[in-house]
Chains A and B, each alone.
Chain A
Amino acid sequence: MEHVFIVALIIGGTALLSLPLGAWMKMAMDPAPGQMTGWTSLFGRIGGATEEQGWKRYLVTMLIFNAIMFTVTFTILGLQQYLPLNPDGMGPHDPTLVFNTAASFTTNTNLQHYSGEASMSYLSQLAGLMWLQFVSAATGIAALAALARGIAGRASLGNFMIDVQRASFLVLLPLALIVAMLMVLMGMPMTLQGSAVATTLEGVTQTIARGPVAAFLTIKQLGTNGGGFFGPNATHPLENPSFWTNGLAMIAIMLIPMACVWMFGGILGRMKHATVIFAVMALFILVKITGSVTFESAPTPAFAELPVSTDTGNLEGKELRFGATGGPLWAVLTTSTSNGSVGAMHDSLNPLTGLMPMAGMWLNATFGGVGVGMINMFLYIIVAVFVAGMMVGRTPEYLGHRIEAKEVRLAILALFSHAFLILGPTALFAATSLGQATVQDPGAHGFSEILYEFTSAAANNGSGFEGLGDGTWAWNIATGVVMLLGRYLPIILPLAIVGSLMAKRRAAESAGTLGVEDATFGTMLGLTVVIFGALTFLPAAALGPLAEHFSLP
């Protein structure tokens, strides 16, 4: 019963909060003429650029800004031992790790092949990583705003440099200030002092790492970044001190991805359409949560023969202060949204529970990462509209745009690139010592560890089955490349689709146009997501989590 209360409160509460936030994001990102003019001209002056951009120009400036993001953080991480704000004297990193980490945070992934409290200076954490947690999330929100403008039939997609500042300063920053202060009030550490050294009651010396956690953690959650200040992320008691910080963090994880759907609907002027999309996404997430919470209430199979009480479910890798729902619920939220912070160790989840986070990342659109989740869903919409059109023998249309071979080809390319980026490298690493030598558990679970790592990299999620020894040059480079492709292809290709749509004359919507505001469309969209998103990965799931489940006693 407690499960139902908590899930209803977190999901329902966040859905309610996302409504006003979505309205605000629409106004902040895409102000109507006469609105927000002061801000727009300020951001134009800061960036020194106000031109109206087509899809190619918008993409080019986005990619240039992202290249600067990568370079700045690469430099800071690479030189951290010479830079200030390093009270614990953190030393140099391996170059492949610097590449991996800079790629990881630039792409909003936050896959971490390092442990923050053991190897990152405060400057690296704040100016390198936390900065990217703002601007990489802002990049995603900007890309969605541009995409929506194109679909809405505007002459231009806007200006990227202005959009990225709108998202940083008007959306992310105010929310981060509010949530970080709440976190501080709930007991979150926020200090620039180095580690504390304690002498325990039994006389042992214990070094307690701490730092500017509240600021870092808040934007990590709000921007679907997910990279923890500490190695074990949100399971660490100083990164998530109580049941209440855990609840607030889960709301922060879901909030902007949900609001992005409303922003999309707002820019299109089609809130009913947005409601249908929102409902489809919410249904997927509820199914995954139900599975996760149910499967995880089974006790640890390893204790089957031992005198261990079995009424508390699988507690390996879990924190008691979050209650029984905390771990499995968080596991779904963090992977449905491309966040990737963890509130329990995913490697130790029961096999079928572990399948839920993987499924979330395979779909990557239920609600998905800030901005990009809705962009991924747009790809599914294109495919759904096309298939629906074919089924009734009409020219497929989406909001008056004719969907033809070119658009569908681009959409399929984007969707299949996701599958290819996961399954290709997984096959390579599972078949060779590159991966085999690094798994912790033998057999099906070892395969799951490899599969999960590439899934997480391609989905720009960042969580992991952390038993995997992923600190090798091969893992650093392979996941770094997968993260970069997994980030930019699903932004470039959808914007190309929009560019193609904008070049065509828009048909007037008539009685013959496919309705996108009813349950029929929602069903069609949901089925498309299942067939394209999930079935692609069924064979891999059978080799990993399903095989492991059926081999258990």
Chain B
Amino acid sequence: MNDIISGLRVTAATMAVCVAGYTTVILGFAQAVTPATANGSLITQGDGSVIGSRLIAQGFTSPEYVWPRPSAVDYDAAGAGGSNLSPANPELAERALALIAAHGRDGTPIPADLVTASGAGLDPHISLEGALFQVVRVAEARGVEPAAVRAIIDRLAERPGGVFTPAPIVNVLELNLELDAELASPASTE
């Protein structure tokens, strides 16, 4: 009996300090120092409405936008997940074939990230090659020179780990916002 009472007292102490105290300190710190990222790195418009999070992929399908990696959960940011398909599973090839057809660049090898789903299905990035692969379609849909699109992509490309990660990547939502801001969006996309 004494052991149970003792255990309950330690339970109360650890709950108070490690749950209530610890959470409050980190919450206060985060909301005071980095409120934007602490609340999910949301991107808002002038009127305050939320467009999305810079960390969360959106399922772009219109030709004038750069498309993200496929998502096993259809970009559901309230129920994320991967495909969990084994490397030999034929569904991988079926999905890849459909995406290769959708991108419509016969013969040119497609960068692997554009046909593979990420772990959470919400990867906000694609590879630089993956973005450049889509330049022609985006430029055509917007009625601009490919060079204009390519210039924006090159500007936004980043190395996530600096010298440790030689392969540059691009944030798709930020890229598409930039495309809208700098290049005309065709009226035909209603």
Contact = CB atoms under 8 A, between A and B. Distances in A.
Contacts of A118: 78-79
B88 interface: yes
Contacts of B19: 126-127, 130-131, 134
Contacts of B14: 131, 134-135, 138, 165, 168-169
B26 A177 contact: yes
A241 B8 contact: no
Interface in A173-189: 173, 176-177, 180-181, 184-185, 187-189
Given A68-B8, A215-B23, 7 more contacts: A46-B10, A47-B9, A207-B78, A210-B40, A306-B115, A312-B111, A320-B169
A405 interface: no
Interface in A438-493: 440-441, 445, 465-467
Interface residues of B, number: 100
B164 A5 contact: yes
Contact of B100 (A206, A307, A349): A307
Contact of B18 (A61, A172, A305, A345): A172
Contacts of A191: 27, 30-31, 38-40
Contact of A46 (B13, B38, B85, B167): B13
A161 B6 contact: yes
Contact of A323 (B37, B84, B164): B164
A489 B69 CA distance: 45
Contacts of A232: 80-82, 119-121
Given A168-B18, A323-B160, A299 B125 contact: no
**Chain A, interface residues (CB within 8 Å), range:** 35 or more
B7 A161 contact: yes
Given A198-B42, A236-B80, A302-B92, A322 B160 contact: yes
Given A126-B23, A215-B26, A315-B112, A65 B7 contact: yes
A536 interface: no
B161 A466 contact: no
A307 B109 contact: yes
B131 to A, nearest CB: 11
Contacts of A65: 3, 7, 10-11
Interface of A: 2, 5-6, 9, 46-49, 60-61, 64-65, 68-69, 72, 115, 117-118, 126-127, 130-131, 134-135, 138, 161, 164-165, 168-169, 172-173, 176-177, 180-181, 184-185, 187-193, 195-202, 204, 206-210, 212, 214-215, 218-219, 230-233, 235-238, 241-244, 247, 299-303, 305-310, 312-324, 327, 342-345, 347-351, 440-441, 445, 465-467, 548, 551-553
Contact of B11 (A68, A172, A219): A68
B37 A241 contact: yes
A93 to B, nearest CB: 16
